[in-house]
Amino acid sequence: MVSSVNGIKNELLRLARLARRGAYAPYSRYAVGAAVFAGSGQIFIGANIENASYGLSICAERVAVFSAVASGERTIRAIAVQGSGKTPAVPCGACRQVLSEFGLPEMLVVVGKGQAAKTFKLGELLKHPFRIPV
């Protein structure tokens, strides 16, 4: 278990690369892996899973977040994403919205291509998340 968000970036990128091996992407041939750093300090991974009915496919980021939430987590502190393309895999709009449900605008989003990485804050990627007042 790791406690520092800044100290976790490289480990999250490494685990996202490993998670990418579990991707099921026969249609796009674009494998993506993700690793989330949850509020408890635990790390959860996910890979994209495609379906012949494209709307039923799910991104690696949401697989990792949903795995964390299904395990009882309610806060995501950081996420790393590694794609198999030529440029870093930045989370799509749906994933950004899901991340906003469980992370603060300051949450780190690390996108990598090999060993190179770029870091954003979630608030930079999703300026106006959808919210329902409770």
Catalytic site residue from 50, 61, 73, 101: 61
Contacts of 12 (CB under 8 A, 6+ apart): 35, 36, 37, 43, 78, 79, 80, 110
Give the whole-angstrom CA distance, residue 32 versus residue 69. 20
Encoded amino acid at 86, one letter: K
Predicted pLDDT at 11 = 96
Predicted pLDDT at 3 = 54
Q: Tell me, yes or no, if 73 is annotated catalytic.
A: no
CA nearest to 36, candidates 4, 71, 57, 67? 67
Write a three-state SS string for the chain. CCCCCHHHHHHHHHHHHHHHCCCECCCCCCCEEEEEEECCCCEEEEECECCCCHHHCECHHHHHHHHHHHCCCCCEEEEEEEECCCCCCCCCHHHHHHHHHHCCCCCEEEEEECCEEEEEEHHHHCCCCCCCCC
Predicted pLDDT at 134 = 82
Encoded amino acid at 124, one letter: E
Predicted pLDDT at 113 = 82
Residue ranges of the chain with per-residue pLDDT less than 50: 1
Predicted pLDDT at 116 = 79
